[in-house]
Amino acid sequence: MAKPQELGGYDGEVTAACERVLVTVLSGLGPWKESVYLVGGLVPRYVVKARPPEVPPHAGTADVDIVVDLALLADTAAYETLEENLKRLGFERAENARGQVVNWRWKIKAETGVVLVLEFLADDPELGGGRVQELPTKGNISALNIPHAAMVFDLHDKVEITAELLGGGGRITQVVAHANLVSFCCLKAFAFAQRHELKDAHDLVYCLEHSEGGPDAAITLFRSALEGKHAAAIGQALVLLENHFCDPKPEEAYLRDGPVAVARFEISGDDGEAQEARILRQRRVADHMGDVIRALKLGGGA
């Protein structure tokens, strides 16, 4: 199930369906839903409060990525209940990028026929990045280890989401804990550096450009987080952002792979007009990211 490589390949109705997956899974976790945190491509929907036409549309997603607390993974009743609920709802194990069926990735076909994906992530410091964190169970659920993902346990916001349960169970409202601007951008920075997917660059830049309060508010959030226990990881992410979005020659920062990735994802076409639009977008991204990163390095405002 290859992901679209451009903005036009995503569908707002599919993103809304992902909300249904999220609230349905949470509804079956009982008290353990307090140990589940949303990350990934559904998060910009909540980090950015404004909607088009006030802001450009975000791509959305066809995946639901949730980080689970290791304490949940160690509770037999919790993960057995989760597995039973997934199977009852019609979920089945999904394939990874190599076409191998894995236990941390599950899929379901919605009423519209679109396939929605649910991914379980964890952060075990004793494992290397990208390795599968097997749950202590004889069942069929595991989680993919994502270094630094645990920062979302401390750096998150909450939102009420109302959506229809899968399977015709009616409408429900769930309180969802999701990555805040800082943890989301950091995790996306690590992801972009590792796999270089164009959408990762789009996701993080979109949130930094359009989150409430603008650059000053974003800088304030980052500066506050840099005083906390995740300062080292955030510092590493900022170094990556600088490497991918800034250049020793500021006037050439638009040529870095970060701005190029954003423009390639958002603007398709090979004609001269599209090429000019991509260059303009690259320059705007480079300027915005450069302003934020320089302000954080200097300790000043935007």
Closest to 29 in 3D by CA, of 156, 183, 136, 177: 177
In degrees and rounded to multiples of 5, residue 170 shows phi and psi of 95, 175
What pLDDT was estimated at residue 96?
A: 84
Task: Give per-residue pLDDT as tens, 264-290.
Answer: 999 999 999 999 999 999 999 999 999
Helix, coil or strand: residue 116: strand
- pLDDT at residue 172, as a whole number: 96
- Nearest by Cα to 225 from 127, 140, 132, 157: 157
**Residues 113 and 25 grouped into a single domain:** yes
Nearest C-alpha neighbor of 191 from the set 236, 230, 227: 236
What span, in angstroms and rounded, lies between the C-alpha atoms of 87 and 293? Answer: 45
Same domain, 11 and 59: yes
Asked if residue 85 and residue 134 are part of one domain, the reply reads yes
Please say whether the beta carbons of 106 and 82 come within 8 A: no
Find the helix or strand (DSSP H, E) in which 74 lies: none
Tokens encoding 260? 């190029």
pLDDT at 190: 96
Domain assignment present for 103: yes
DSSP string over 119-134 = EEEE--TTS-TT-EEE
Same domain for 222 and 239? Answer: yes
- 78 inside domain: yes
Is residue 180 within 8 Å of residue 156, measured between CB atoms? yes
pLDDT value, residue 1: 57
Per residue in 163-182, pLDDT (tens digit) is 999 888 899 999 999 999 99
What range does the domain containing 78 cover? 7-179
Contacts of 173 (CB under 8 A, 6+ apart): 23, 160, 161, 162
Indicate whether 30 and 166 sit together in one domain. yes
49 pLDDT higher than 90:
yes
Amino acid making up residue 156 = H
**Percent of the chain residues topping a pLDDT of 70:** 91
Residues 132 and 267 in one domain: no
- Residue that is last in its domain, among 130, 162, 179: 179
Q: What pLDDT score was predicted for residue 299? A: 65
Whether residues 174 and 185 share a domain: the answer is no
The encoded tokens of residue 58 equal 């975000």
| Confidence category of residue 197, pLDDT binned at 50, 70, 90 | very high
pLDDT beyond 90 at 295: yes
Residues 6+ apart with CB under 8 A from 49: 212
| 261: in domain | yes
3-state class of 127 per DSSP?
coil
Last residue of a domain, one of 161, 179, 197: 179
Q: Is residue 1 one of the residues assigned to a domain?
A: no
Rounded to 5°, angle at Cα 247 from 241 and 252: 125
The alpha carbon torsion through 219, 222, 225, 231 (nearest 10 deg) reads: -130
- What does the H/E/C string look like for 180-217? CHHHHHHHHHHHHHHHCCHHHHHHHHHHHHHCCCHHHH
**Confidence at 17, pLDDT banded by 50, 70, 90:** very high
Q: Does residue 213 sit in the same domain as residue 149? A: no
Mean predicted lDDT score pLDDT of the chain: 90
Query: Of 157, 179, 201, at which residue does a domain stop?
Result: 179
Find where tokens 């649910």 sit: 118
Burial letters 208-226, b for 16+ CB under 10 A, else e: bbbbeeebeebbebbbebb
Do residues 25 and 167 both lie within one domain? Answer: yes
Per the domain annotation, does 273 fall within a domain?
Answer: yes
**2 found inside a domain:** no
Residues 20 and 167 in one domain: yes
C-alpha 18/C-alpha 170 separation (Å) is 16
Domain contains 265: yes
| pTM assigned to the model | 0.93
**How many domains is the chain partitioned into structurally?**
2
Instruction: Say if residue 150 is in the same domain as residue 238.
Output: no
Amino acid in position 52: P
Q: Do residue 18 and residue 146 come from a single domain?
A: yes
Residue bearing the bigger pLDDT, 118 or 129: 118
Is 50 exceeded by the pLDDT of residue 301?
Answer: no
Give the least confident one: 192-201, 202-211, 292-301.
292-301
- For residue 99, give the amino acid letter: G
